[in-house]
């Protein structure tokens, strides 16, 4: 279970820094662990190992609408957990160790277009990290193929095509993009 307080603030697993103070995001308590957060211009997305936010059934992935202040479930993740996510525009990508989302057999990696989830192909192991570098989606984890392409723990997806940017001898746990560089940890 995640932290429930920040000092004297009862926050239920999520807090926000305003630049001056820490504040809770909403009155709703997450009943598990939040592993990842990402945002776009209109929402905060969370992924992890949880099944409810307040009274809302939200298994593994949810969105806090910045306009309404309401939580929205984005389809139930089953068979595991969401480890990582990234948002760009209306699209959200999630990765982890799961076997289905929204009742569809979409495993380990998925893309949300604002209405539904899509598979990006089969990844044969756990996804720990995701980063967008321009129009290319990079995933890192503990796997040996992505979309049928042999690769060691790091893969790239662009315009519906998977590629191997080079193999790593151990799992990848973090990815970050700063300007033209992709950092791998």
Whether the predicted pLDDT of 1 surpasses 70: no
Query: Residue 83 pLDDT > 70, yes or no?
Result: yes
What is the number of other CB atoms lying within 10 angstroms of the CB of residue 179?
A: 5
Q: Within 10 Å of residue 105's Cβ, how many Cβ atoms?
A: 10
Between CA 171 and CA 18 the distance in angstroms is 35
- Residue 2, pLDDT score: 66
User: DSSP state, 152?
Assistant: S
Q: Rounded to two decimals, what is the model's pTM?
A: 0.92
Residue 3 pLDDT: 73
> Which has more pLDDT, 2 or 62?
62
**Cβ-based neighbours of 144, under 8 Å, separated by 6 or more:** 124, 125, 150, 151, 152, 153
């Amino acid at each position: 279970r995640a932290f429930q307080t920040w000092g004297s603030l009862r926050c239920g697993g999520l807090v926000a820094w305003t630049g001056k103070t820490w504040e809770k995001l909403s009155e709703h308590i997450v009943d598990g662990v939040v592993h990842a957060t990402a945002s776009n211009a209109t929402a905060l997305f969370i992924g992890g190992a949880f099944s409810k936010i307040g009274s809302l059934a939200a298994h593994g992935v949810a969105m806090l609408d910045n306009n309404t202040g309401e939580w929205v479930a984005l389809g139930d993740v089953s068979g595991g957990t969401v480890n990582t996510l990234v948002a760009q525009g209306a699209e959200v990508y999630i990765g982890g160790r799961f076997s289905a989302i929204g009742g569809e057999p979409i495993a380990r990696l998925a893309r949300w277009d604002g209405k539904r989830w899509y598979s990006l192909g089969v990844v044969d192991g756990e996804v720990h990290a995701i980063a967008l570098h321009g129009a290319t989606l990079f995933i890192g984890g503990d796997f040996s193929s992505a979309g049928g392409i042999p690769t060691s723990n790091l893969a790239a997806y662009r315009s519906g095509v998977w590629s191997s940017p080079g193999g790593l001898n151990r799992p990848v746990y973090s990815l970050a993009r700063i300007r033209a560089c992709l950092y791998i940890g």
